[in-house]
Structure 1
Amino acid sequence: MAKRDDVECWLTDMDGVLVHENHALPGAAELLQQWRLQQKPFLVLTNNSIFTPRDLSARLRASGLDVPEEAIWTSALATAAFLKSQAPGGSAFVIGEAGLTTALHEAGFIMTETKPDFVVVGETRNYSFEAITKAIRLIDAGSRFISTNPDATGPSSEGALPATGAISALITKATGREPYVVGKPNPMMFRSALNRIGAHSENTGMIGDRMDTDVVAGIEAGLHTILVLTGISDQNEIEKYPFRPDEILAGVHELLDEEPFETDSY
């Protein structure tokens, strides 16, 4: 497991690390620029499978962060890469939004309701009883059950929203079948991200704000793990877990080099 000085590539979570409620967190823009100037490959990761990388790049740009779409890795992309490795040219019935369906199409999958190889459940704001019923029946008939991520709830300005994990639990209860979950905390998502940028675990760092996803998956993938306290986890949350990240920082601004650098050279 690398020390920070040995890290040549970076993976970083998005919400709670780089942005909070669509506002860039202190040091985020400067850190991204620092990585570019140092020519350090990086990917911004998110478990949210609703949006395409292009959508997320535009969202980050509106927050003041310049992240090209090729530097964004979602649970939808990780899921599509995994399924392509399992059944090239396969088929799927999908409960999800454009981020997931686009990733699967680009991976060569066919969307169908007739004997699909996989039933894939991702994030959506339009869950329907009809679609969930179809998923249950297809799984009962032999389709393999896949979930993009385990998050049971998601945030909104009005409070918690049911998320992928909650809908997957409903399907599990009806079928008796647990899904294979590709997104964090499965280190599979980190390994696919490493493959995307040609990185190795021995010289890659992971920055996250959650002990139960970012940190544990980073540890299991053999990365240098950094927890920042600008998101979900605080000291009380840290104490609940039997494992620890390599570093705990107040925020990503603590990763900035002391020497100044030009911010307009990119």
Structure 2
Amino acid sequence: MTDTQVVTAAEPILSYLTDMDGVLVHEDHLVPGADKFLAELRANETPFLVLTNNSIRTPRDLQARLRHTGLDIPESAIWTSALATATFLDEQRPGGTAYVVGESGLTTALHEIGYVLTDSDPDYVVLGETRTYSFEAITTAIRLVERGARFIATNPDPTGPSRDGSLPATGSVAALITRATGREPYYVGKPNPLMMRSALRRIGAHSQSTVMIGDRMDTDVVAGLEAGLRTILVTSGISSRESVEQFPYRPTMVVDSVADLVGSTPNPFT
């Protein structure tokens, strides 16, 4: 079932950005219809990019994870907050140095842009997500920020999921460092529209002709809206139809899942 606002823009839909968890997969299981939706985009030769705020895995690792669920998505169609952060740093300070708290998804992205990872007077402290935050690493990050390193975080998500319940994520650890240093990080990932814009550049797309599909009003929808995209909220993840009314902005369309979009691409608003 769909709930569509009046769409005043007559621009055709030429490309898609879509969140991963809650939209295409849910706890390592395929969201029913996600495979058919992506197959339809391919059949229509519609460019798309899968986005995730999780910075732990490289695109190759994520490709393998998605293939295990039944989705065959190329590495080139996966855009992480780690890649967006690396792109941002490469534009801001090419060939710089960073002290990283994170895993291979983040360290690999920074190595690929030519950054040197060091704890000796780095240009940046870059905080990402990791399964096991080290107290020693966090202490080092605090001291480096106190000494003048610029503070960057891949995303503001406070918690992440696990089989046993919530885990502290990048936003929570960033808050700890901020409380200790008085320095706020610059968050690159959603809901920063910067991640949307870097994703658009990745596939050569324009905001006016691109749709953002997500399951969270407070990250996916607001990031898409602020980047000038039309947005579709799916209720197969975090946000519900009822929760939409709690926000001062609305998605262009609300559907139960991406399965509801099958047969309506490339333009579900017509």
Q: Check whether the contact 1:2–1:203 (CA below 8 A) recurs between aligned residues.
A: no
Fraction of identical pairs, as percent: 64
Letter in 2 for 1:74: T
- Are 1:81 and 2:63 counterparts? no
Q: Check whether the contact 1:2–1:202 (CA below 8 A) recurs between aligned residues.
A: no
Query: Which of 128, 136, 146 is matched with 2:134 structurally?
Result: 128
Query: Which of 53, 56, 61 is matched with 2:62 structurally?
Result: 56
Query: Which of 210, 215, 227 is matched with 1:204 structurally?
Result: 210
Task: Name the structure 2 match of 1:18.
Answer: 24
* Distance in 2, Cα, partners of 1:75 & 1:8: 23
Comparing 5-14 with 66-75, greater Cα deviation is found at 5-14
Letter in 1 for 2:177: I
SS in 2 for 1:39: coil
Q: Which runs of 4+ in 1 moved over 2 A?
A: 1-5
Aligned residue runs from structure 1 range 30-109, under 5 A: 30-109=36-115
Task: Name the structure 2 match of 1:242.
Answer: 248
Query: Which of 28, 33, 36 is matched with 2:34 structurally?
Result: 28
Comparing 31-40 with 145-154, greater Cα deviation is found at 31-40
Aligned residue runs from structure 1 range 161-180, under 5 A: 161-180=167-186
Q: Check whether the contact 1:185–1:212 (CA below 8 A) recurs between aligned residues.
A: yes
* Distance in 1, Cα, partners of 2:188 & 2:180: 21
Q: Check whether the contact 1:4–1:205 (CA below 8 A) recurs between aligned residues.
A: no
- Are 1:150 and 2:145 counterparts? no
* Distance in 2, Cα, partners of 1:104 & 1:154: 23
SS in 1 for 2:111: helix
Q: Say how many residue pairs are matched.
A: 259
Task: Name the structure 2 match of 1:214.
Answer: 220
* Distance in 2, Cα, partners of 1:34 & 1:208: 18
Q: Check whether the contact 1:94–1:119 (CA below 8 A) recurs between aligned residues.
A: yes
Q: Check whether the contact 2:11–2:208 (CA below 8 A) recurs between aligned residues.
A: no
SS in 2 for 1:73: strand
- With structure 1 as the length reference, what TM-score do the two structures score? 0.95
Q: CA deviation at 1:126?
A: 1.9
The Cα RMSD (Å) is 1.4
Letter in 2 for 1:78: A
Listed as ranges, the gaps of 5+ residues in structure 2 are: 1-6, 266-270
The C-alpha deviation readout for 1:171-192, integer Å capped at 9, x for no partner, is 0000000000000000000000
* Distance in 2, Cα, partners of 1:100 & 1:162: 18
Q: Check whether the contact 2:216–2:238 (CA below 8 A) recurs between aligned residues.
A: yes
Q: CA deviation at 1:236?
A: 2.7
* Distance in 2, Cα, partners of 1:251 & 1:232: 12
Listed as ranges, the gaps of 5+ residues in structure 1 are: 260-266
- With structure 2 as the length reference, what TM-score do the two structures score? 0.93
